Amino acid sequence: MASPMLPLPGSAFAPKYWRDETGGVLASAIYLFLNEPEKLTVGMIAYIRAYFIQWVESPAWDMNPSHDDASRAGLAAIRASARQIRTVKDIRKWIHAALDMGIDPL
């Protein structure tokens, strides 16, 4: 049996990268998070939260042929926790959890 292939970046199933967003608000929020996180507004955090949700909800992450029960549970946990992001501290915590799963949204 052939292993599953990740969707191409232009596919509807692929996660959409923040640098490709055309409105400018998300990019501004990410730049502030990376450089001056204390200046993030509640609205900017909401944009980052929405970005992380779409990123981690991509079916691409389900295609890992090495998934086991623990990694599926970890993926479910970071998917759920993305919806709970409200602060810069939450963003940092979520990014570390995602990176531990091999998922890098930045």
DSSP-assigned states of every residue in 15-44: PPPGGG-SSSHHHHHHHHHHH-GGG--HHH
Please state the rounded mean pLDDT for residues 95-99: 95
pLDDT confidence band for 67 (50 / 70 / 90)? confident
Q: Compute the C-alpha angle 21/94/55, nearest 5°.
A: 35
Please state the rounded mean pLDDT for residues 50-64: 89
Asked if 49 contacts 55 with a C-beta cutoff of 8 angstroms, the reply is no
Query: Helix, strand, coil: what percent of the chain each, to 5?
Result: 60, 0, 40
Domain assignments of the chain as residue spans, ordered by start: 41-106
Flag whether the pTM goes above 0.95. Answer: no
Q: Torsions phi, psi of 16, nearest 5?
A: -95, 125
pLDDT confidence band for 49 (50 / 70 / 90)? very high
The answer on pLDDT for 13 being more than 70 is no
